[in-house]
Structure 1
Amino acid sequence: MYVVMNELHVPDEAKEAMQNRFGNSVENMKNIPGCLDFMFLEENKENGKQVVFTKWESKQHYEDWVNSDAFKKAHQGQQNNQNSTKEKSPASGSELKSYEVIHHF
């Protein structure tokens, strides 16, 4: 099993927009081969962190997703209906951490 956590650097005023963006991804992630779990986490404090947590059957499943058209589509930005520009992510950066699961119940 493989776990990936993406800690997002998001200003407080943009956190709701980020929650909505990842909320739209929940159903899509259910259909990704090897994806066992998808969670969007937020600390309950001012200036708290937002974290995308995913659990995979294997590192290979995660890498297959990252290299897939579905991943590229999910991360290319959303089309703005008022004009043809892409909507920029509210995140100013992120820190990606990944782990092999040694023990699990």
Structure 2
Amino acid sequence: MITVANRIFVNPEHAEQFEERFKNRARQVDQMPGFIRNVVLKPAKAGDPYVVLTFWESQEAFKAWTESDAFKQGHARSGTLPKEAFTGPNQLEIHEVISDSME
């Protein structure tokens, strides 16, 4: 299993709009083979990024998602927020899960 953490730096003036976008997301990813779950984390400290954390059975499953039409459709909605809603570039991190207390 892998996790993909997308760290997104959001201008506080656009935080509510950003959060609503995820609450009303297209849910395209939920149907993808190998997808396990999606968690959106709100920063506890001002200036820290939001983290969109997805869990996948494998790196191949995640790669297939990023190359799918569903990915393009789901991310086309990202244009709903203006450029100034973000204070820096996203940072994508991929990790292999070596221990999980849920197992």
Shorter-chain TM-score range: 0.7 to 0.9
Give the structure with the larger strand fraction: 1
4+ residue runs over 6 A deviation: none
Distance 1:41 1:26 in 2: 18
Give the CA deviation at 1:30.
Answer: 2.4
**Alpha-carbon contact 2:4-2:93 (below 8 Å) kept:** yes
Shift of 1:46: 2.6
TM-score by length of 1: 0.80
Supply the AA of the counterpart residue of 1:98. Answer: I
- Please, which of 80, 92, 96 is the counterpart of residue 96 of structure 1? 92
Between structures 1 and 2, the one with greater helix share: 2
Which stretches in structure 1 are left out of the alignment for 5+ residues?
79-85
- Deviation at residue 26 of structure 1 after TM alignment: 6.8
Bigger shift: 38-47 or 5-14?
Answer: 38-47
Name stretches of at least 5 consecutive residues in structure 2 with no aligned partner: none
2:80 matched residue in structure 1: 87
Between the two proteins, the alignment pairs up a number of residues equal to 98
